[in-house]
Structure 1
Amino acid sequence: MKLKKLVALACTFVMTASMLAGCGGSKKSSEVLNIYNVGDYIDPALTEKFTKETGIEVVYETYDTNEGMYQKLKSGSSNYDLIFPSDYMVNKLINEEMVQEIDYKNIPNYSQIMDSFKNPVYDPEDKYSVPYLWGTFGIIYNTKVVDEEDTKSWDVLWDEKYQVDGQGQVLMLDSVRDTMGISLKRLGYSMNTEDPNEINEAKDELIKQLPLVQAYVNDDGKDRIVAEDAALAIVYSGDALVMIDENPDLAYAIPEEGTNKWVDAMCIPTSAENKDYAEQFINFMLDPENAKQNVDYIQYSTPNQGAYDLLDDKMKNSPVAYPDEKTLEKAETFLNLTDDVLKLYDDAWTEIKTN
């Protein structure tokens, strides 16, 4: 099962030659491309192909979360050439001058990026990031237990019938922004609200929901749903595709109140020693054939028009991978919030988790 953002190997390297490097930092050399990414988030065959075509060796190191990656870069103890932050983190890195402008003359395949992914709110001038993959999160549910009609609203996650014999049947994400975002959307508020009253109201609703919550989970929750140990869970869209393939009784829904549309991007840190290699790799990954191969491996949605055109009709027409415009109009991208506002979220989260 492919991973997304929250679970990764402690330290994984994909190397295209018999080069060995210790866990804990990028290799300082002009002969390699140092990549820092989340877990199993590139088809290893593509890094090997890149080396065969260019002679550039790839060192691939992983992190667990955007915040962990940020702290590693901030410490100054690394020399990564290419990173893969999520939308809100891209904005934070730009604001703190931790990523550098990309020379698009070296990336002719940028022409493959769909117009809807250009000039995003997190990088409005398209100077610092190139879209990599995207998706949503929503409700995956067991159709033998949950009615499809009920999943049209986030209210289903608060429905008392999903507490059976004192055991909650709902799995929520162990993620403050995602889970608070669901509660905010259910109440009609923005996922990016800075209003203390709205944040507090969302917190109170999540506390009320606790009797129905079997657990707050990340990747570990997927096996529970596939095994039918819970009735509903919050998952990312690409994971939903894999889970439905494993258990055809599962289905995925995006409630009508709206959800998060996330984008992960490719960026070059200010400290990168091999910017030209990074741009070569970005261009390589934007080649439609390569991008399509990567999508087949990871199962998330592509912002690459050429790659999308190569997908089979089943994937192109999947409402899980490619929701319709009406659904996406109600979706929000997480924004980078100020430290003061983030503290409000963190304090709310602490109160929820300690109840």
Structure 2
Amino acid sequence: MSKLTTSRRGFIKTGAAGAAALALPAYLRSTAARASGAVNVWTYANFIPDDFKAEFEKETGIQVNIRLVDDQGKQFNLLAAEAPNPTADIVTVAGHRFLQFIDSQLLAPLDTDRLKNWGNINPVYSESDWATINGNKWGAPILSGAEVMAYNTEVVGEDEVKSWDVMFDPKYEGQTAYIIQDMMSVMMLYKGYDGNMIAYMDDPEKAAAIVKEVRDFLIEHKSMVRKFYDSGAEIQQMFVNQDVVLAHAWNGPISRLIMDGFPVDMTIPREGSYGFVYTFNVTNNGPNPDNAYMLLDALLANAEVGAEMTRSSGFISTFKGADQHLTELERKAASFTEEELQGLQFFRAEANEMKYKLVDPAVEEIKAA
């Protein structure tokens, strides 16, 4: 992945969002004399821009300690193991996973009155129905993503990717890849069902039959798959190495490939797909809550910070005006057409307990088949 790393650094050095552009607002800089200590953040790679981190530490005297995570389940287990006295002040939770963390009392309700820049978040994200649970906000939306169909533009035609059908075309046998658990939800939608399974909460037999149908379908077409993968870096490498030409993927890693000039594009097929929002959440009983709020407010203060978060992660910024600080290529890599967005639904959590009791065993059965 050396080309990706080199290219990313080039963007940071030559782009508009250098350290000066990411400077903190004056009211935050004025707190440096009284601020001290640290803030501990568990997050994904590149979610906090390096230039912003350096400027925040310089101006406030607060050290930002980042622990990288690569999986929501692993993060939950780590946080639960440390409860009720976590070492983390801020964690990164996808909106559709809120209930699991909230029910386990791992997150504190977000006090938006302490965030002067809360209004800088696009209300499509900050005021969406999934963002409020039990009358409280639980996280600051920072980046939005979607599960997409990614394809090598030198091999697969744009007219072929209008439907998820192409993932099962014998023409591309052994040249596709996907994350099985995520693909299960998309395939439910592909077959005309509710991939969130909320519609079947009162009909567990129907839910079980749907999961079985999708499981059997993926087993039947297992020869199409080069590899069931786990991480964004892994699918990037498979495209770069030309191991695959089609994949179900998160848009962030694919967006990074597009920005770096690889012949890859992405779309949301006509049957639709699912979107999600990453949020920064204050932990329950974290060691540095005041510093956590200071960091969150600083992040929200500048649309250019949002643009740099998009550049470095590939996901879509939730900040108002962030797209105005991106190049044409960067905007192309981090956006969808109106037609594509019509098929995008957000993941919901209400039926997760029932859903994953069915889906998790099905995933293992697909792997073993």
> Does the alignment pair 1:35 with 2:50?
no
1:126 Cα deviation after fit:
5.4
Show the counterpart of 1:109: 117
Give the unaligned 5+ runs of structure 1. 3-29
Q: Which residue of 1 aligns with 2:348?
A: 335
| Matched-pair contact (CA < 8 Å) for 1:134–1:264 | yes
Residue equivalent to 1:292: 307
Q: Normalized against structure 2, the TM-score is what?
A: 0.81
1:276 lines up with 2:290 in the alignment: yes
* Residue pairs, 1:41-120, within 5 angstroms: 41-76=47-82, 78-120=86-128
Q: Is the 8 A contact 1:284 1:290 kept in 2?
A: no
Is the CA contact 1:154–1:255 (under 8 Å) kept in the aligned structure 2? yes
Equivalent residue number for residue 26 of structure 1:
none
Q: Deviations over 1:247-283 (max 9, x none)?
A: 5432212111111111100100112122111111111
Contact conserved, 1:130 with 1:267, CA < 8 A, in 2? yes
* 1:85 counterpart SS class: strand
Query: Which amino acid is the alignment partner of residue 185 of structure 2?
Result: G
- CA separation in 2, counterparts of 1:75 and 1:352? 30
Deviations 1:299-355, CA, capped at 9 Å, x for gaps: 221110132333334434x2x422234432322222234434311101111110000
3-state DSSP of counterpart to 1:122: helix
> How much has 1:211 moved relative to structure 2?
0.8
Corresponding residue SS for 1:332: strand
Measured against aligned partners, the alpha-carbon deviations of 1:96-151 in whole angstroms (never above 9, x if no partner) come to 33211222222111111112112333322552111011121212212232221121
Which stretch shifts more, 239-248 or 149-158?
239-248
CA change 1:323–1:210 in 2 (3 A) is: same
Q: Distance in 1 between matches of 2:255 and 2:355?
A: 34
> Identity rate of aligned residues, in percent?
24
Q: Is the 8 A contact 1:43 1:298 kept in 2?
A: no
- Preserved CA contact (<8 Å) 1:153 1:255: yes
1:310 matched to 2:325? The reply is yes
What is the alpha-carbon distance in structure 1 between the residues aligned to residue 285 and residue 365 of structure 2?
38
Give runs of aligned pairs for residues 113-132 of structure 1, distance below 5 A.
113-124=121-132, 125=135, 127-132=137-142
Structure 1 pair 347/239, CA: closer, same or farther in 2 (3 Å)? same
> Which residue of structure 1 lines up, in the alignment, with residue 14 of structure 2?
none
| Partner secondary structure for residue 146 of structure 1 | coil
* SS of the residue 1:260 aligns to: strand
CA distance in 2, matches of 1:117, 1:232: 30
Amino acid at match of 2:89: D
Return the TM-score normalized by structure 1: 0.84
Instruction: Judging by fraction of residues, say which structure has more helix.
Output: 2
Q: Which residue of 2 aligns with 1:153?
A: 163
Distance 2:340 2:264 in 1: 20
CA RMSD of superposed structures (Å): 2.1
Q: Distance in 2 between matches of 1:221 and 1:325?
A: 26
The aligned amino acid for 1:292 is A
Contact 2:90 2:281 in 1 (8 A): yes
Indicate the larger mover: 222-231 or 147-156.
Answer: 222-231
Instruction: Give the gaps of 5 or more residues in structure 2.
Output: 6-35, 201-206
Aligned-residue offset at 1:46: 1.7
User: Does the CA-based 8 Å contact 1:183-1:203 persist in structure 2?
Assistant: no
- The amino acid of 2:310's aligned partner reads V
* Contact kept? 1:146, 1:231, Cα under 8 Å: yes
Partners in 1 of 2:62 and 2:149 — Cα distance?
42
Alignment correspondent of 1:136: 146
Quote the residue 2:193 is aligned against. Answer: 189
Distance 1:259 1:341 in 2: 17
- 8 Å Cα contact 2:148-2:250 kept in structure 1: yes
Q: Which residue of 1 aligns with 2:172?
A: 162
Change (3 A) 1:37 1:348: same
8 A contact 2:110–2:282 mirrored in 1: yes
- Aligned-partner residue type, residue 49 of structure 1: E
Kept after mapping to 2: 8 A contact 1:184/1:202? yes
Distance of aligned partners of 1:338 and 1:260 in 2 relative to their CA distance in 1, 3 Å threshold: closer
